[in-house]
Amino acid sequence: MRWRAAGAAALTGLALGGCMVGPDYVRPSTPMTPAFKETDGWKVAQPRDHLPRGAWWEIFGDPELNGLEAQLEAANQDLKVAEARLREARAQVRFSRAALFPTLSTSFGPSSIRESGNRPFTSSGAGTGGGHSGDILLSLDLSYEVDLWGRVRRTVAAARHEATATAADLQTARLSLHAELATDYFALRAVDAQKQLLDATVQAFEAALQLTTTRFEGGAAPKSDVAQAQTQLDTTRAQATDVTVQRAQLEHAIAILLGRPPADFSLPLRALDTRPPGIPVGLPSELLERRPDIAAAERRVAEANEQIGIAKAAYYPALILNASVGFEGSTFGNLLNASSLLWSVGASLTQTIFDGGRRRATSEAARASYDATVAAYRQTTLTAFQQVEDNVAGLRILDEEARHQRQAVQSAQQSLELFTLRYRGGVDNYLQVITAQTVTLSNQRTEIDILGRRMTASVLLVKALGGGWDVTDLPTP
């Protein structure tokens, strides 16, 4: 009868284990628009077809960049940190899931006890000899908390959501690091273009200095022309030297991204000659599927929702089943006798009656945390929209600016040629040439700077669009 009663209690507990208290998860709404503001004239992409899967940097058509990007994932230390965090989160899922199963333990313990002959409250009185006894116990114990209200299952679900969010964090880190590498690479190539331009300008100014020196020696020009030409040359040489500082810093940054000490890494000088590729931006709603940071924020909303259910389950009683079987004897010789067998089966139902408001505070904290994660999710989405709009607008405006700047460079070069000819002919003084040289160099450097900014905006737009990543890449909970 005792076995039947225990079995009935266990079956009843398991049947009630199907109940779950707390709210069911519903994905929060997000601010949404039917189209991006800055997409006039842009091609609308179909979902998940606008970028190469994973290796999005290949759209720039730069083999050297492709080679550097291929080295990043195996060597970058920040990425290894993110991968370790993912392994930790997955281990936490297994830890939480273990609570769904009974806990089995075994114990073996011989003991010997001698009682004091002077112990109080004995019938023999003080001074009598103490008793002596021995005990040997071998037992197998089982303990199981029946998940009546879904606390354990929600704990497992919360851990799974966190693991999925951590997997998305890893994808965000991977996307950010690849984008940072591409940005640094194009910035370095833009500096190389500046260096190449300044070196060529130094050669041109050396020729100009020779011209003014020859004219001065021939009595056709004052000494001031030579001084002005020398100043212009020295200033440009200083600028050519100064850009090497920025190049060294960018090269060092790329080395660190690749997990290498700066002293062990170098890139040959090569001017930026890449042009921004066309990048279809798709629809705003697709960002919810293409951005790993949005996916991570949404999974953490689901996790916070589970925490509300866990807090609510604390208001209900906890049912714990216990069972034990073993042998107990006075010596090793009679330990395994049939008469030494012992067992026990029981259940305990525990209900907190008063806790000073602890459960209410925990429940309110869980709901506040949920509200915070919902707001963070919506803010992440808004930030994603802003990043796309910023870079689409930047590319559009910079493209127009680049056309105007090309015209400005051409006009400045024509002016420089004319003023140089007029100076050779003695029509104008050298100040006109100096001014034209300064304007031409400034416009040429601005043109290179605009190209570098266009490449950076292209990389940031790819990053803002998710870089070819998709929410289906996340592991199934």
Per-residue pLDDT tens digits for 337-365: 888 889 999 999 999 999 999 999 999 99
Q: Which helix (H) or strand (E) holds 325?
A: strand 318-329
Task: Write down the pLDDT at residue 208.
Answer: 94
User: Confidence class of residue 332 from pLDDT cuts 50, 70 and 90?
Assistant: confident
Residue 411: partners with Cβ closer than 8 Å, 6 or more residues away: none
Residue 200: partners with Cβ closer than 8 Å, 6 or more residues away: none
Sort 377 into a burial class: Cβ within 10 Å, 0-12 / 13-18 / 19+. Answer: buried
CATH number corresponding to 28-99+154-309+364-473:
1.20.1600.10
Other beta carbons within 10 angstroms of residue 74's beta carbon come to 10
- Kind of pairing between the strands at 318-329 and 103-114: unpaired
Sort 274 into a burial class: Cβ within 10 Å, 0-12 / 13-18 / 19+. Answer: middle
Task: Write down the pLDDT at residue 245.
Answer: 97
Mean per-residue pLDDT, 253-276: 94
What pTM, to 2 d.p., does this model score?
A: 0.86
Cα separation, 22 vs 307, whole angstroms: 9
Per residue in 127-184, pLDDT (tens digit) is 555 566 778 888 999 999 999 999 999 999 999 999 999 999 999 999 999 999 999 9
Average pLDDT, the chain: 89
Does residue 4 surpass a pLDDT of 80? no
Task: Write down the pLDDT at residue 77.
Answer: 95
Range scoring the smallest mean pLDDT among 41-55, 261-275, 368-382: 41-55
Does residue 433 surpass a pLDDT of 80? yes
Nearest Cα residue to 236 out of 261, 201, 260: 201
The amino acid sitting at 257 is L
User: Confidence class of residue 235 from pLDDT cuts 50, 70 and 90?
Assistant: very high
Mean per-residue pLDDT, 283-296: 89
Helices (H), 275-338: 287-290, 292-313
- What is the residue extent of each domain of the chain? 28-99+154-309+364-473
Cα separation, 373 vs 359, whole angstroms: 21
Range scoring the smallest mean pLDDT among 6-15, 112-121, 180-189, 299-308: 6-15
Mean per-residue pLDDT, 246-266: 96
